[in-house]
Amino acid sequence: MSDIDYTTSKKKRAEYILNRLEELYPETPVPLDHTNAFTLLVAVLLSAQCTDERVNQVTPALFAKADNPYDMVKLTIEEIKEIIRPCGLSPRKSKAIWNLSQILIEKHNGNVPANFDDLEELPGVGHKTAAVVMAQAFGVPAFPVDTHIHRLAQNWKLTTGKNVEQTEKDLKRLFPEESWNKLHLQIIFYGREHCTARGCKGLVCEICTTLYPNRKRPIVKKG
């Protein structure tokens, strides 16, 4: 147990978290299997309300037929839907994949654009999906915030935000920009392995108990 009182300093908490996660997860492979920016974009879109493991089981069959927008639009929406059905929300996701592929061809010469504005204009692509693509496909500093990160940021009192947008802003202010792309994956890995939604609630895992050794009540996630 540390003798440092982390409860009084958000900056000290951030420093400890950054260093500890680097010790635990020095390597951060992207959880979604992909071979290029397009397949990453599609995989992230499919991961909405679906586990990465399930997406990785489904995408090989899809990408064997179409790992670029030109081949994707040769498939029908129905064909795409049948392949991605195990990921859930297949009617909506299949339309988004086909339509974004058409837009990439018409507006971007078949390339995935390397900027937030153009990415977020694509069907089915919100800010978090765009941030993952910018970070992992193009190496642009971004801090995609998913439910794991939003929850852990609240457990560690790094944010008072009730939504992922505010949490993203708070985390960007706390952590150095050069750490963002790796850190967001490290937090996800830690949340899945140690600080789970049911298993910790701010009371059990190593980081929570180090930062808040006297905490008695479980943290209730906001937003």
What amino acid positions are annotated as catalytic residues? 128, 146
Answer whether 106's CB lies under 8 Å from 124's CB: no
Give first-to-last CA distance, the chain, whole Å.
Answer: 31
* Residues 6 or more apart whose Cβ sits within 8 Å of residue 22: 186
Answer whether 148's CB lies under 8 Å from 3's CB: no
* Residues 6 or more apart whose Cβ sits within 8 Å of residue 172: 143, 180
